[in-house]
Structure 1
């Protein structure tokens, strides 16, 4: 039985609160060499030991841009836009940000450089393990991770609904319920947003597919690792067992579609509490200036809300059916419609979400996102994968990738200042740039006010009257 009939307007409003953030992986690519850049990670973007906004991953060219958690989805995408601007400002003259999840073609010398060059020495041992276990190419696929933590009021509501005594237990169970829903409908996200149709580092003719990265050939653990999502305790225990047997090095090596994040100690995480979930299935969007559309994030949020209001019995059988459906959709021709049964499931979900939006005040933006998904379900040619397939020439997206990367770089360089940094007044951009590049945690209170180190003894309000010298003296 669904809970939407008991959902009054105030409850529905609360469902869309909580905090979300994103992490996007993307490569710097050298236009002269037509391959991954061999320039160092820009020093101007701070010390990667503690930088919360700019990191790198498996290769030095593989940048990670990480937003803070935000209560507003537009706050997430605005910060992402600003971080992309800061990264682009530090590119070498012939570097671009690669717009695709799959890397460009690598020559033997590029692979050697990739294997031998790694400058985060504090992760060197773990990186060496991954290199030996998976080879050099699997971990340079890029994607987007979406984090989510529900509003405490929704956890309290859920606690009462489930007659649970403990808030931590309620939050654990609620996050896992949403996790199961996301895993169960992963195939729909792959259908809508899959954008890795071919692998430039494979030889021979490749019929385009929706998403190599989202498939079993993509960013996944080795076949001997079996972590199931049918129960919360089983999900945690199977990870712990895999680590004890050496199948996994640590929780960070689990590459399932959703992770649950809290304490790294899996033996105590249910007692100390899961803090948030992390959805890890989205490809970079090659048609979005910042690699992600706001409408995509809005639909992900809608899918999470559906997981709260429309719980399902996700058992071993139904989860396996969902996994099979994802593999089928991921490896299908990107112009093909959903199979009839999946189309029916998608339409039922849309109808459920529409019933929620009908109860929500000021739902116009979310309605636009839902209407777009409805159109894409009815017409596969409107999906990201189908649009990208049109750009394939001679079994390659190399030409498109360089053209699109250069186009995005020029858009940023030529944009007026107020479009380079969103929600930030021009007179505050220098302070915003300094704090972001130095890696000092802060929040944007308004276009003219930043709060630095919020909720700490060093909390500080920054306005256009705050000089860079003041900030440097305090945090330089």
Structure 2
């Protein structure tokens, strides 16, 4: 069983210098449900004053009309990324009506018994807009709409070209030395991805904040949870139920065998999934009794984005490109770390500590040796994730490493020690203690289980008498934070202009009548 063996601070080569990290970029995507004042999911349309969810670069929707997604631009510092995210939250909050608020937890607010009341996101009458809504209808038909109300944080990160150039220069393997800069960069990012997958149990323990869930989320589903307090279910030592079998799961995808051992393999696996029919989805049919389409196709994946993964290789697509085409043509440009729960104690769902830790972890994953990752090891990782999702805070939590089973605490400590050295290196870039401070907080969470976010969530849910009450109290506290956040006149104008421009762009797309939606869909199918 291949497991990275180097677990000391020697993961950083002696020749690496802090100047190589100048120009790192990070961006954040945060999802949040709009909640009515009575605690139930909003039934209102996306606020028109915020512009078009189809074409706005910062404020859009994810699965449902009520599930908002906020996207920052790539920023040169963590502080700048978090500040832009604060701006977006403040702008959105000002346009919410009738006492609506942003729900602060990864697991959803109150849902009623009728799944149809989880309204699909609407993007207007253009072909691309209708296609996006149909994709969501397909997700609902395949996996149920409740699953699509879960929120997360995605952390996008890219390292500078000069770092990859130096790494390639110091390679001892002649084949790696001969790769083009683009291919070498992709090779290193895939190494990062494999190691991040191996280390997701650590992320779930340290950043997991979904140990409990409103009973309404599990209506009609079998589950293994216990009652915590009226209306709330939990597991006593859980960390991140969002990342377990109650969260985003897809048995069809598990059979895909998509590997992260190199870019071409990965893209081949993805393409196969997008073009292979899946009997269970074929049985659902493509259209309803009225002849209206209910899913894009009957394939394992309707489109590439349906592939649920903990981390994704990404490249910014150009007009008309699919994510795969962008990766194929220009290689991996950045990674999207997706295993992160929303932090309910932060008004913007993420704080400096989480960001600093994720970047230190990503550097560790990039520099550490990263053998190929095959099905047998992946099975172990899945077992480890399940253990930490359900029992991560248990004193006897254990995970499998190669041929042995080890206490989770020991395994986590070894990795955290090595991540510390990466934090020291990143702090040298800007002369701040941010990264080491972040790792120190994580050390505290490892040493004292009661300091984990998941433990705090359980304590506060009990104190407030349930998930809804706890979430409502936090949502109200965050309102104060949005109100206090001052937008400059320039930033206000920027967001007003974007809202207008996005609506104009949507209107232009809707004027294009050269092909009916039926033809458009038939062409895609």
Classify the TM-score, shorter chain: 0.7 to 0.9
**What secondary structure is seen at the aligned counterpart in 2 of 1:47?**
coil
Q: Which residue of 2 is the match for residue 158 of structure 1?
A: 167
Q: Which residue of 1 is the match for residue 31 of structure 2?
A: 25
> Pairwise mapping of residues 352-371 of structure 1 onto structure 2 (< 5 A)?
352-359=418-425, 361=428, 362-371=431-440
**How far apart are 1:357 and its partner, in Å?**
4.2
State how many pairs are aligned. Answer: 428
- Residue 188 of structure 2 is aligned to residue 174 of structure 1: yes
Q: Which residue of 2 is the match for residue 211 of structure 1?
A: 240
Q: Find the partner of 1:397 among 459, 467, 489.
A: 467
Q: Find the partner of 1:407 among 477, 496, 504.
A: 477
TM-score, normalised relative to structure 1: 0.83
Q: Which residue of 2 is the match for residue 235 of structure 1?
A: 266
Q: Which residue of 2 is the match for residue 253 of structure 1?
A: 306
- Residue 110 of structure 2 is aligned to residue 100 of structure 1: no
Q: Which residue of 1 is the match for residue 15 of structure 2?
A: 7
- Residue 488 of structure 2 is aligned to residue 430 of structure 1: no
Q: Find the partner of 2:391 among 306, 314, 332.
A: 332
Q: Deviations over 1:250-282 (max 9, x none)?
A: 210100111122352647833432222211111
**What secondary structure is seen at the aligned counterpart in 2 of 1:409?**
helix
**What secondary structure is seen at the aligned counterpart in 2 of 1:71?**
coil
**How far apart are 1:381 and its partner, in Å?**
1.1
- Relative to structure 1, the CA distance from residue 120 to residue 227 in structure 2 (aligned partners, 3 Å threshold; closer, same or farther) is farther
Q: Deviations over 1:125-155 (max 9, x none)?
A: 2122111111111111010111122211112
Q: Which residue of 2 is the match for residue 377 of structure 1?
A: 446
Q: Which residue of 1 is the match for residue 200 of structure 2?
A: 186
* Counterpart Cα distance in 2 of 1:436 and 1:348: 47
**What secondary structure is seen at the aligned counterpart in 2 of 1:129?**
helix
**How far apart are 1:42 and its partner, in Å?**
1.2
- Relative to structure 1, the CA distance from residue 268 to residue 116 in structure 2 (aligned partners, 3 Å threshold; closer, same or farther) is closer
* Counterpart Cα distance in 2 of 1:358 and 1:124: 46
**How far apart are 1:98 and its partner, in Å?**
0.3
Q: Find the partner of 1:344 among 388, 391, 410.
A: 410
* Counterpart Cα distance in 1 of 2:380 and 2:331: 30
**How far apart are 1:303 and its partner, in Å?**
0.7
Indicate conservation of the 8 Å contact 1:197/1:210, yes or no. Answer: yes
Q: Deviations over 1:72-101 (max 9, x none)?
A: 111111100110111111111311110011
* Counterpart Cα distance in 2 of 1:390 and 1:126: 39
Indicate conservation of the 8 Å contact 2:93/2:479, yes or no. Answer: yes
Indicate conservation of the 8 Å contact 1:296/1:369, yes or no. Answer: yes
- Residue 250 of structure 2 is aligned to residue 221 of structure 1: yes
* Counterpart Cα distance in 2 of 1:154 and 1:240: 31
**How far apart are 1:12 and its partner, in Å?**
3.2
Gaps in structure 2 of 5+ consecutive residues = 1-5, 220-225, 228-232, 277-298, 399-405, 503-525
For structure 1, which segment, 242-251 or 312-321, has the greater mean C-alpha deviation from structure 2 after superposition? 312-321
* Counterpart Cα distance in 2 of 1:29 and 1:82: 20
Q: Which residue of 2 is the match for residue 276 of structure 1?
A: 334
* Counterpart Cα distance in 2 of 1:106 and 1:254: 25
- Relative to structure 1, the CA distance from residue 227 to residue 420 in structure 2 (aligned partners, 3 Å threshold; closer, same or farther) is farther
* Counterpart Cα distance in 2 of 1:308 and 1:213: 26
> Pairwise mapping of residues 451-462 of structure 1 onto structure 2 (< 5 A)?
none
* Counterpart Cα distance in 2 of 1:43 and 1:408: 23
Q: Which residue of 1 is the match for residue 355 of structure 2?
A: 297
Indicate conservation of the 8 Å contact 2:43/2:119, yes or no. Answer: no
* Counterpart Cα distance in 1 of 2:501 and 2:257: 35
Q: Which residue of 1 is the match for residue 155 of structure 2?
A: 146
**How far apart are 1:322 and its partner, in Å?**
2.4
Q: Which residue of 2 is the match for residue 137 of structure 1?
A: 146
**What secondary structure is seen at the aligned counterpart in 2 of 1:21?**
strand
* Counterpart Cα distance in 1 of 2:121 and 2:482: 30
Q: Which residue of 2 is the match for residue 461 of structure 1?
A: none
**What secondary structure is seen at the aligned counterpart in 2 of 1:199?**
strand
Indicate conservation of the 8 Å contact 2:34/2:102, yes or no. Answer: yes
* Counterpart Cα distance in 1 of 2:79 and 2:301: 36
Q: Deviations over 1:405-440 (max 9, x none)?
A: 112113322x2xxx434xxxx453433443454468
**How far apart are 1:116 and its partner, in Å?**
6.5
TM-score, normalised relative to structure 2: 0.76
Gaps in structure 1 of 5+ consecutive residues = 441-476
**How far apart are 1:182 and its partner, in Å?**
1.2
> Pairwise mapping of residues 71-150 of structure 1 onto structure 2 (< 5 A)?
71-109=76-114, 111-115=115-119, 118-121=122-125, 122=129, 123-150=132-159
Higher relative contact order (CA 8 A, sep 6+): 2
**How far apart are 1:119 and its partner, in Å?**
4.7
**How far apart are 1:222 and its partner, in Å?**
2.9
**What secondary structure is seen at the aligned counterpart in 1 of 2:301?**
coil
Q: Which residue of 1 is the match for residue 373 of structure 2?
A: 315
